[in-house]
Amino acid sequence: MPEMIQFPDKKGQLRGNATRKMLAHDYLAAKKDWLALYDLDPVFEVVTSLVETLRLLGDFEGAIFYASEYEQDYLKTEATLTDYVRLYLLDGQYLFAHRLLTKYPNERLEAELLQLEMAQDLLGETDYASRATQLSTWDSQIQPIGGQKWQNWLKKMTLTGFIQLAKNHWLHLKNPFILPKLIEECIACGVKEKVVVKSVFKGEQLVDLANCRLFHDAPALILMKQLVEEFWLNQDPQIMEAITIEAQAHFALLYPFLPTLSEVPDWEKSYRYEYQAIFGDEKAAEALAAYPEIQQLKTKIRAYYHEFA
């Protein structure tokens, strides 16, 4: 019996059409086919083709949008890591490129990034005066800065420029939501300096950035979550979740000046007794009196969160 002619299915048709259009440099038409194929079959191979098409169209933000969903796949090989990092370089996200290369070192890409940053600073294409003004405006507002606003503010900023801008401000900040973001950005980008900063809660302090962890990796935060879970998981998971969320929010404002590991158990007890006292436990209310400094600090932190609630 003769074999039947096999026609490509919908996915095969879209792949073939997109490939032909790419070869013909009709990237806009190819984009439509890759997007349609992505909706049907969102695998890494399709994503890389879609991302490359968007790159060729100059839509770097769009390319990053899709590529970032598959970041772990891009980080698996040197070739795909190179493609991924270069998307951020093309989009002017130099600090995020530093973040990636701090975790996944690559001498060739690091040299490429350095050359781009040197050219950027030499040509003076980034308006640091307006960035400083924006930071001062945020500082006067005493409220958190949205993630997208922060990313837009960082765009086109070189690491050298960012560090200098941070140094010009972090001894004078009044908004406690800013210093943690500045510090974490430095750490994520691999900055190893010792710097003096001023915390709303702790005053002037020396910070050795080389010995600091990113907030979510901070040992004090990890221990705090463990202690809360150990006590509350079997008793009341809802209270466990409430304390965990609040403690993390409080630690976020204290960062990088978190309690020491030896102090964390007292912080856990202060939350425990506080929540127990709310539900009428008189002994817990009495026990809470043993932690006046922690309670005063928590009250001050809560006041900042209450301002924009």
Q: How many domains does the chain have?
A: 3
Of the ranges 150-154, 156-160, 248-252, 304-308, which one carries the lowest mean pLDDT score? 304-308
- Containing domain of residue 67, as a range? 10-91
Do residue 269 and residue 281 come from a single domain? yes
Do residue 301 and residue 239 come from a single domain? yes
Q: Is residue 108 a part of any domain in this protein? A: no
Q: Is residue 182 a part of any domain in this protein? A: yes
Q: What is the pLDDT of residues 34-52, one digit of tens each?
A: 999 999 999 999 999 999 9
Among 91, 116, 149, where does a domain finish?
Answer: 91
Q: Is residue 15 a part of any domain in this protein? A: yes
> What is the predicted pLDDT for the residue at 5?
52
- Inter-CA distances, 209 with 166, 168, 183, 188, 222, Å: 13, 17, 8, 10, 19
Do residue 183 and residue 261 come from a single domain? no
8-state DSSP, 90:
H
CATH number for position 63:
1.25.40.10
> What is the predicted pLDDT for the residue at 1?
47
Q: What is the pLDDT of residues 38-96, one digit of tens each?
A: 999 999 999 999 999 999 999 999 999 999 999 999 999 999 999 999 999 999 999 99
Q: Which sign does the torsion angle of CA 55, 57, 58, 63 carry?
A: negative
| pTM, entire model | 0.90
> What is the predicted pLDDT for the residue at 85?
98
Residue 108 clears pLDDT 90, i.e. is over it: yes
Q: Is residue 52 a part of any domain in this protein? A: yes
Please give the distance of CA 33 from its chain centroid, rounded to a whole number: 32
Q: Is residue 103 a part of any domain in this protein? A: no
Q: What is the pLDDT of residues 235-279, one digit of tens each?
A: 999 999 999 999 999 999 999 999 999 999 999 999 999 999 999
Do residue 207 and residue 226 come from a single domain? no
